[in-house]
Amino acid sequence: EAGVVQSPRYKIIEKKQPVAFWCNPISGHNTLYWYRQNLGQGPELLIRYENEEAVDDSQLPKDRFSAERLKGVDSTLKIQPAELGDSAVYLCASSSGTGAGTEAFFGQGTRLTVV
Amino acid sequence: GENVEQHPSTLSVQEGDSAVIKCTYSDSASNYFPWYKQELGKGPQLIIDIRSNVGEKKDQRIAVTLNKTAKHFSLHITETQPEDSAVYFCAALSSGGSYIPTFGRGTSLIVHP
């Protein structure tokens, strides 16, 4: 079974440019997460989806970040315009639900470098 | 919200030695504590977890302990091997909130052959 698939793996853009990341979760997983991981730190949640509904987006900088999960499967995360401080690894994860013992499976991440 | 502190940030051991990573949490409502291993260029992968109604859990060379009173939990790796070298993250989830894991800052474990 394929795991969580993310693309691209790496992205280098100039500041003020837009960028988009794509995530395909594990088949059947209703819950999808986007995390940002800064260098030397743990992942920080940006947004969580239950099917197509964003149920936790309090940490998403809504002035420049947006996300969507049409049809409750694949998801895209967009930054427009990107800033130097957005350089990080963006991780997507999925799970079959939420609750104790529900494992979240992570993709390999997209490493974004803003220059 | 939850706050998870993790120590040390870097841990260097010789092959065969034991390694211990410690975490503390702030939210007394947290009741699930997973540990993740992240290898270079990969996403975090769950290696072991513990629930608040259990004090200790063991899986081959790794074990976790939980002290609810003190709000701290630890990862123990025995007989370390070079392939154990990675970044390890602890996390805590609270049933009182949206049940989203809050991660520690990570420990870079280096096992020297």
CB distance from B53 to chain A under 8 Å?
A: no
Kindly tell me the burial class for residue B91, based on how many C-beta atoms sit within 10 Å of its own C-beta (0-12, 13-18, 19 or more).
buried
Is B97 a residue whose pLDDT tops 60?
A: no
The stretch A8-32 carries a mean pLDDT of: 96
The strand pairing partners of B97, in sequence order, are none
User: What percent of chain B is predicted at pLDDT more than 70?
Assistant: 96
How many other β-carbons are positioned within 10 Å of the β-carbon of residue B108? 15
CA A62 to CA A50: how far, in whole Å? 19
User: What percent of chain A is predicted at pLDDT more than 70?
Assistant: 97
CB distance from B54 to chain A under 8 Å?
A: no
A15-24, A98-107, B60-69, B92-101: segment of lowest average pLDDT: B92-101
CB B63 within 8 A of CB B56: yes
CB A95 within 8 A of CB A102: yes
Nearest to A107 among B43, B89, B93 (CB): B43
Top pLDDT among A59 and A82 is at A82
Concatenate the DSSP letters of all residues of B26-72 into one string: --TTEEEEEEEEE-TTS--EEEEEEETT-SEEEETTEEEEEETTTTE
CA A69 to CA A50: how far, in whole Å? 9
Contacts of the segment B38-42: beta carbons below 8 A, 24+ positions apart? B38/B86, B38/B87, B38/B88, B38/B89, B38/B106, B39/B86, B39/B87, B40/B86, B41/A108, B42/A108, B42/A109
pLDDT score, position A56:
85
A23-32, A57-66, A98-107, B41-50: segment of lowest average pLDDT: A98-107
Nearest to B32 among A4, A91, A101 (CB): A101
CA A18 to CA B1: how far, in whole Å? 31
- CB-based contact A100 B51, cutoff 8 Å: yes
Nearest to A42 among B89, B95, B99 (CB): B89
CB distance from A4 to chain B under 8 Å?
A: yes
User: How far is B76 from chain A, CA to nearest CA, in Å?
Assistant: 19
Nearest by Cα to B11 from B93, B102, B74, B92: B74
Name every residue whose Cβ is closer than 8 Å to that of residue B69 and which is 6 or more positions away in sequence.
none
pLDDT tier, B44 (very low <50, low <70, confident <90, very high otherwise): very high
The stretch B74-88 carries a mean pLDDT of: 97
Q: Identify residue B24 by its one-letter amino acid code.
A: T
Running DSSP on this structure, what letter comes out for residue B101?
A: P
Nearest CA in chain B to A38: B105
Is B57 a residue whose pLDDT tops 70?
A: yes
Nearest to A108 among B32, B43, B103 (CB): B43
The stretch B53-74 carries a mean pLDDT of: 95
Is B87 a residue whose pLDDT tops 90?
A: yes
Phi then psi for residue A71, to 5 deg, are 65, 10
pLDDT digits (tens, 9 = 90+) for A37-53: 999 899 999 999 999 99
The stretch B15-38 carries a mean pLDDT of: 94
- CB < 8 Å to B44, chain A: 43, 91, 106
pLDDT score, position A100:
66
CA-CA-CA-CA torsion sign (B56, B99, B103, A19): positive
